[in-house]
Structure 1
Amino acid sequence: LVKGETLHLSCKLNRDLNIKWLKDGREISCDKQTDCKKTSQENLFKYTLKTKNIKMINSGEYSCVCGNFKTSCFVIITDIPIEQIINARTTEKLYEIQGKKEELAQKEEKIVKEETKLLEMETEIRNREMEIKEKTDEIEIQRSKLALKEKEMKERESQLELKEAKFCELEMEKNMLQKDSLTLTQQSEELKFTRANANMMQNELEKLKHEKTELEKRIEILEKYIDNGSVKHEQTIAEIRQTYDNMITKMKAEHDDTLSTIDKRLEGISRFSGIGICE
């Protein structure tokens, strides 16, 4: 405002309340120079402050206070009309605005470049995110494959441990069989020797049978020339016959036992030779 004019301030409320007008934080007293009025229309109340013939000293911050609510404005009083001040500053502002426009154009160009760069960066980031996602998916697939391979390896290790245990068991069985085979080989050799002895005994038995037959023939010849009524002679002949019979019976029994033992051992060897090792 220009010095000498009238200052006119107002505030509106929707209720009729007590208000205070303040200048620079101090309450304003209403007098002839300063007029305070209140008008109402329907439910709207208007409070007006008028100060006539204002001076430079009237410049400052004016406030309308109602309880905890406050509205303020700053009033400047000049010696010359505000239009002249505005015109004086217009040219300066035009140059300033032109400079600001050029600066704004540069900033806009810079912003466009930055936005383009940002867009490129966002595109690159998206591409990298896609690459990272693809690599992450590939890593997850590799992890799944690795987990399957580890599972297969564990299963194979378990199977290998079972096979190793079975192999050790078979090795032990093989060693036992080798020992049994060696034992049976020794027994086979013994049986061969026993069979040879049995054959010798068979030959001797055959000789004894032959001798018995020859002896019986001689006895028959002797019986023709010796008195048949001699008891002593008959006893002698009976004793000789009994002795030969006992010898032949004993040798035959031993021969039969030997042959039975040989047959059993040979049967055992035949069964053992048919046994195989299976994994």
Structure 2
Amino acid sequence: MTEDPFVAHRGLLFTVAYEMLGSAADAEDVLQETWLRWAGVDRSQVHDPRAYLVRAVTRQALNRVRALSRRREDYVGEWLPEPLLTHPDVADDVELAENVSLAMLTVLETLGPVERAVFVLREVFDMPYAEVAEAVGKTTTAVRQIARRARNHVTARQPRVSVSPTEHKAVTDRFLAALHTGRIQDLLELMAPDVVLIADGGGLTAAALAPVHGAELVARMLAGTDRAEDKAMLVWLNGAPAIRFESDHGRAAVSLVIENGRITRILATSNPQKLTRLDHPTRLRR
């Protein structure tokens, strides 16, 4: 018996929805809605099931983005994408790992819904312009212009120099060790002078409500955090080495952006509603 195309491409469809929404829970809702629609489709009229399903997921995700805009406006403090536990082999696909990273997803949040959809479909999944145009309800000419603007926008905001998984892991290991010692100098040696700490507690846990700028201030804040009872481990989140903390008070996930061997951005999520995917790896694929 032939596997249903939706099941065969589920990993891809989830990745598309997650890239557009930054939320696994919302991506799952989009997949459920797409499945219900797919169940009622006359399959004999669908010549390319994969392309059809990607278009359907994109449209549902765009509807969901618009519905979520008010929820984001009312969010307490900084909003970060939901981190996902992944297998280390995600890093083998360098382009996929870069595009599903928390750093990239944070940049994508600064795009409008259609710009984000066009960027994801064209730049990440390499869909033809004509198919992207059909998915977002625009002309091919308009999509080419949108793609160019989105690409320029993202390029201006993403890390200028990518690092290898080996280097990323080495810096993450040193950062974890520095957190355990609590020595400010150890932390300062790892961070760029203009490092930024962004914390997402969602109003449910203690977290800075605005970004914290500067190595001195960030180091003092981190050094003053009592992690004596925390169980910390290096894990792979969104295709890159990261840190997971567990304690009686809850859990947290910390991802680092690294350039030229120094940490330039620290993304710390402690909102428990966003940490439900840290126990079992999520399959991300193109």
TM-score bracket, normalised by the shorter chain, equals under 0.3
Instruction: Judging by fraction of residues, say which structure has more helix.
Output: 1
Q: Which structure has the bigger radius of gyration?
A: 1
Greater relative contact order (CA < 8 Å, ≥ 6 in sequence): 2
TM-score normalised by L of structure 2? 0.15
